Structure 1
Amino acid sequence: MANIIAVIWDCDKTLIDGYMQDPIFAKFGINAHDFWKKVNKIPDEYQEKHIRVNKDTYYLNYFIHCAQDGTFKGLNNKMLKEFGKEQKFYPGIPEFFEKTKNMFKDNPEYSEYGIRVEHYIVSTGFAEVIRGSAISEYVEDIWGCELLESKDKEGNDVISEVVYTIDNTTKTRAIFEINKGINKNKDIEVNSKIPKELRRVQFENMIYIADGPSDIPAFSVVGKNGGWTFAIYPKGDKEAMLQVEQMREDGRVDMYAEADYTENTTANMWITSKIRQIADRIRNQEKSKISNLALSTPHHLV
């Protein structure tokens, strides 16, 4: 079993100040508020006709529609990846990723037991945008929405088909995939029966970080299985603060803080301390195994 500590992140409003689509709207001169208002209204209209629509991922179809009709002219995966460079991360990101990823790298007290930190992103946004962002080099793997392309009338690549989606419920599936190591071993499936001790990342070695009620399913999976949960809210946003405080009172999250990951902030110190706490527990467990093995070794009778 690998002694891996997994820090699993939502993206929009958790790492990014706003939504990852904001630079796309800016480039094409689209009013973001009007766009989302229209996108959110359409599923309601379908539901009045008794047609179920996934509100978390319907926007993908609308983005494709806008790319096809020229509103987002030429929008393709290469362009999405370029928009990753324009993401406005909260203070301290990506530095916090680099710091925590390397916490135990040169410390033999931990590294000799294979203890290390891995970062994962599980987002309902565009995976390709995240891949093009400043955090990608510190991230072990990304779960996000994936799009295919086709040629437009001018022969240019443009997004045309949704091939993989993550919504706020299927985030839990991604967490189980991290738990079982599916991203590292393609012979394992999410429904594969794997004994707890053989799973790549134990739930109690996970920290899940997100911004609000939509992540309650993921918070619940991690929290109920012994992991840690942490909520983020934008600085100065009283309504968002009260929302995450209610989540803490309800037992949904262990702790919350303003969206600032710089040194000596609550978010930085709490997450770092939990990583250290998990690492100490793993180290002590490994030492105990060695001690027990030594005690069980036969000795000459005196």
Structure 2
Amino acid sequence: MSKKIALIFDFDITMSPYYQQKKLIEHWNIDESEFWKRCTKKVTDEEYDLEHGYIKVITEYMAENHLKLSNSDLFNLGRSISLYDGLSRRESQKSIFDDVLNIVYKEAYSDLNIELECYCISGGLTEMINGAIESHNLTSFFKKIYACRLNENSDGDIAFPKETVGHTIKTQKIYQIAKGLDKDVNEVVDDYEIPFENMIFVGDGLTDIPAFSLVQKMGGVSLAVYRESKNSDGSINQEKTLKSYEAGYELAIKSSRAEQLLPADYSEGKPLKMAMLYHVEKICKQIGHKNTTSFSEK
């Protein structure tokens, strides 16, 4: 019987309030709208998938403007990525990850030896995500980052994708987590190392739909989040936020792909944090109940 819990996150708009390419755009001082227009054209006119499309555009900018970019550069750019409130552990801040661990380590569950593992599955760039996770002192929580990995050429510049993570690959990675990282993803197993009912998946957009559906269908919990747009004075822009909410509702709730749709704020007392703490506690109780039942049957 498994005593492991998996918290699985998308990254852009789920953990961070903007797309990570924004940091590269700022670094190169190029026009953001033009960058995304070119990415869109790759997908719509040239039949690239989303991930290969934006990576191709990055390499085109490098070639056209004689720009340098290594995996180390991406890592360092990732270090400047901001996260939503309640996630970072910089400067000894308390994070939702600390609160979740406190639940797992409660005296009531101490005899169960429950383990908590965190994963990130993203269509973004592995090195940028690694940089962000390290910068916010979260490395110790994350067992594995699944995202797009890039090869470097003889000059040390990124040149070609080693691996990309899109819609359906996210579900493959979830199966990998369920079966165990030491298993072949296509291997038939008698028992999951982390059963789906012990999983919580948090995502926001189109590329998360298959993952939402899989986890929810298999007995786990899928939580959809949306970004609250802010005005210059820090207040919420209701019109823009409503559009984000409507898009999330159509994608995740109306179609029953996720259990809840919540604003992406992990700080004290906010609905997303309350939902995550509730579901982690619920899973701990389920593990305890199964352990007691299994013991009594012996």
Partner of 2:235: none
Distance (whole Å) between structure 2 residues aligned to residue 43 and residue 273 of structure 1: 40
Contact between 2:51 and 2:164, CA under 8 Å: does it hold in 1? no
Structure 1 segments (4+ residues) deviating >6 Å: none
Q: Whose Rg is larger? A: 1
Question: Are positions 1:193 and 2:188 aligned together?
Answer: yes
Question: Are positions 1:207 and 2:200 aligned together?
Answer: yes
- Counting aligned pairs with the same residue, the percent is 28
Which of 75, 78, 94 lines up with 1:81 in the alignment?
A: 75
Which of 87, 92, 100 lines up with 2:86 in the alignment?
A: 92
Residues paired across the two proteins, number: 276
Question: Are positions 1:65 and 2:70 aligned together?
Answer: no
The one-character-per-residue Cα deviations of 1:48-74 (angstroms, maximum 9, x if unpaired) are xxxxx2134321122223234445x22
Distance (whole Å) between structure 2 residues aligned to residue 180 and residue 92 of structure 1: 30
Contact between 1:207 and 1:229, CA under 8 Å: does it hold in 2? yes
Contact between 2:168 and 2:210, CA under 8 Å: does it hold in 1? yes
> SS of the counterpart of 1:38?
helix
Contact between 1:57 and 1:166, CA under 8 Å: does it hold in 2? no
Partner of 2:246: 242
Distance (whole Å) between structure 2 residues aligned to residue 240 and residue 43 of structure 1: 22
Shift of 1:108: 4.0
Shift of 1:33: 1.9
The one-character-per-residue Cα deviations of 1:9-61 (angstroms, maximum 9, x if unpaired) are 010001101111111111110122220111111232224xxxxx213432112
Tell me which amino acid in the other structure corresponds to 1:191: N
Distance (whole Å) between structure 1 residues aligned to residue 140 and residue 33 of structure 2: 31
Which of 223, 226, 230 lines up with 1:230 in the alignment?
A: 223
Shift of 1:102: 4.6
Contact between 2:2 and 2:195, CA under 8 Å: does it hold in 1? no
Distance (whole Å) between structure 1 residues aligned to residue 10 and residue 34 of structure 2: 24
Contact between 2:14 and 2:202, CA under 8 Å: does it hold in 1? yes
Partner of 2:284: 279
Contact between 2:38 and 2:57, CA under 8 Å: does it hold in 1? no
Contact between 1:101 and 1:138, CA under 8 Å: does it hold in 2? no
Give the structure with the larger helix fraction.
2
Q: Unpaired runs of 5+ in structure 1?
A: 48-52, 294-302
Tell me which amino acid in the other structure corresponds to 1:162: P
Distance (whole Å) between structure 2 residues aligned to residue 31 and residue 138 of structure 1: 36
Q: Unpaired runs of 5+ in structure 2?
A: 89-94, 229-237
